[in-house]
Structure 1
Amino acid sequence: MNVQSIVLLMAVMAVGSMGAASQAFAADTPIPLQIESNGVNFDHNSTIEINGQVGNMRDGTPVTVIVTGATGVVTIEQITPSSDGSFSLSVNTASPLMKYDGEYKIKATYGDAGINDVIVVTLEGGLVKQAPSHSGHEEGHHEAADLTKQLDYNISGGMVESITATGDDSLLVSIHMAEDDGELTITLSEDIITPFNDGSFFVLVNGEESDDAHQMGNKLMIPFDATTTDIEIVGTHVVPEFGTIAMIVLAVAIVSIIAVSAKSRLSIMPRI
């Protein structure tokens, strides 16, 4: 065998070994995060079983699973994976928040926004969601405490009509006169809304998850377009309505005053 043949044979073997090594590396490289469900189509009296796997475990880091649909956020759960990286979650489609037919997006995120996986399921046999009338908040948004003056925010390309607490885990920012390329910058205080365990918030624009919103500490920058009427910011807890707190404080104060007054009258009455 001449020198040229030997060189050619070595080159072929080298290329083959590189290909085998690449295949072995690809096979050994874990998928960062993957989820699957027990079906694609469901009725409104079923259980969606979600199973997932984390590729590279991080101690103390939970998986955040968010289910969204026609009414906005259906559920948000944070799950600590098992030692092998597996995790699971059950979602009951009989929930009032899943009464409408259509697609529901299930998104899992691990550690940061770049490690995520999304699946979509379809619900059938229920109600058909009607288009919003824009005469008020969409169904599912129940006005509570007005926090407009308690939050530091700045907006371009539109006006903030109000910021209210809806439910016990989200803030609803109503946008008026939105224009193209607008952006809301808002600083959130834990005295008003607390983030998830990883320090993040979940943002929906017109009921759809925002992929353009970004966060720096407790400050959110949320772009929006001319169709935007509301922005929802979801955390783990929102302070209760101020009016309710005020009524409780007032009631306690009144009871205390009555008790003190009664005791004072008893102390000054002459004994017989």
Structure 2
Amino acid sequence: MSVSNIDKSTSALAQVAPVYSPISLQTDKASYEPGDTIIVTGGIAPGLLSKNDTQIVIQLYTPLGGLARVDIVNATADGRFTDSIPAGSTMNIQGEYRVLATYQGKYSGETSFQFEQTIRDYSCALTVCTYQLNIADKTYPINYRIRGVLENITSDIEKPSLKINVQTEFKNAVLLIALPKDVIRSSDNDNNATKIAFTVLVDGQNGRKSEQGDEAIATQTLRITNPESVRILAIDFARENKQIEIIGTWLVPEYSSSALAIIILAAISASLMGIRGLTLSNTKKK
């Protein structure tokens, strides 16, 4: 074999030979969005882990090379380790992020993932927003502020309740909402003038809420011109929560008075037609 052929063979072997890494490292997905949890798992090559030193340093680097986060985790006896990183927070740049795991400052392994930065409008945390709730062909403005996004509000006459779909990238958030008394009320059945607490469910579970009676919150924070016309709730929710339900004792009917009259007339008409049909049937039999 000629020298040139030997060089070519050596070059080919170098290209296909696997690169040895004393620490294996991977993430559970290739791409993440704000609000996701990045699960990092890895393992140390056999024989490298010391019983007296099991700490693994996990470093997260931004697409620009800046250090975004540092975690320290402990490896198990067989050299395995795991770490959870919330997508978001210090990750404010879209692109490829690098994860580096280091043991004793000399053994390392790395992996990477894509972070897709979703641009969301959080202006309702800084200023008052208004949701136009439509019930029975009538629109009711509902003022609110939220550290996140209020997607929509629907009514449930059976409970009676308002269901509010929300989302946030933050670990903890608050919805401050003014509930018009001509939309939903919660009062004592024996005395409608006596208000009682609303029931609040967050994803079907009892939620943490407080009623805000300070007039300044109504007039200044939520821009309510007539504070007596609303009840204000501050409701806590978290990143993983999707729906808030506010349950009262009364909700504005789903049908307007004219529509309700038509429904009643239709029901009466159907009933009369049934009676007439039965009468004619009995007459024919005779």
TM-score bucket (shorter structure): 0.3 to 0.5
TM-score after normalising by structure 1: 0.34
TM-score after normalising by structure 2: 0.33
Find the structure with the greater CA-based Rg. 2
Q: Looking at secondary structure, tell me which structure has more strand per residue.
A: 2
